[in-house]
Amino acid sequence: MSKIKNGKNKTVLFTIIGIIIGALLIVGIIWFLTVRLYVGGGNLKVTVSDWTGWSEQQPNDKEYDFKISDKLIFEVPSQLGNKSFKVNYINSNDIVITLPSGVIQENEKGGIDLEDNTKQTITVKTNGDEVKAITQTMDAGTTYTFKYLK
């Protein structure tokens, strides 16, 4: 009788393990289809607008396109030197990017906090909205405009 119980217990245990593994596979496939195929097929456009307070004539904007992927680190040149940005997280609605030191997200009024030394992240929406980040400088600097392109 105890042999039958042990056999039934093993069958129940293997059934539960099979259900858990199957559920994890389904979640992984859904994640792949919604995140990797939706967002992974697009580009991140970064427009670099260097500016200076020393001259009326301003440098021309430059545009860079990066094939978007999770954990991507991309470097963008500017008049103040190259800056590295990192894609932290991607889903079907958002791309979260860590900004380099000395670059901060533009506030609602179009300005920045010159004294904020915290590590900043921005969220670029996949609907095409633009997000701006600006160097924390006063006499010359760079505005980075981020936009997702399908």
Q: What is the pLDDT of residues 80-115, one digit of tens each?
A: 889 999 998 888 888 999 999 999 999 888 888 888
Stretch 37-51: mean pLDDT: 79
CB atoms under 10 Å from CB of 126, counted, come to 18
pLDDT tens-digit readout, 64-89: 999 888 778 999 998 888 999 999 88
Co-location of 50 and 98 in the same domain: yes
Co-location of 12 and 58 in the same domain: no
Give the residue with greater pLDDT, 36 vs 112: 112
Co-location of 52 and 113 in the same domain: yes
Co-location of 4 and 57 in the same domain: no
Is the pLDDT at 139 greater than 50, yes or no?
yes
Residue 29: per-residue pLDDT: 73
Domain that holds residue 19: 1-39
Q: How many domains does the chain have?
A: 2
Co-location of 124 and 57 in the same domain: yes
Co-location of 29 and 68 in the same domain: no
pLDDT bucket at 1, cuts 50 / 70 / 90? very low
Co-location of 144 and 102 in the same domain: yes
Would you give the distance in Å from CA 119 to the centre of its chain?
14
Tokens describing residue 34: 């919604």
Co-location of 33 and 49 in the same domain: no
Residue 68: per-residue pLDDT: 84
Q: Are 96 and 80 in contact (CB under 8 A)?
A: no
Co-location of 34 and 62 in the same domain: no
Co-location of 5 and 26 in the same domain: yes
Co-location of 125 and 144 in the same domain: yes
Co-location of 51 and 117 in the same domain: yes
Q: What is the pTM of this model?
A: 0.71
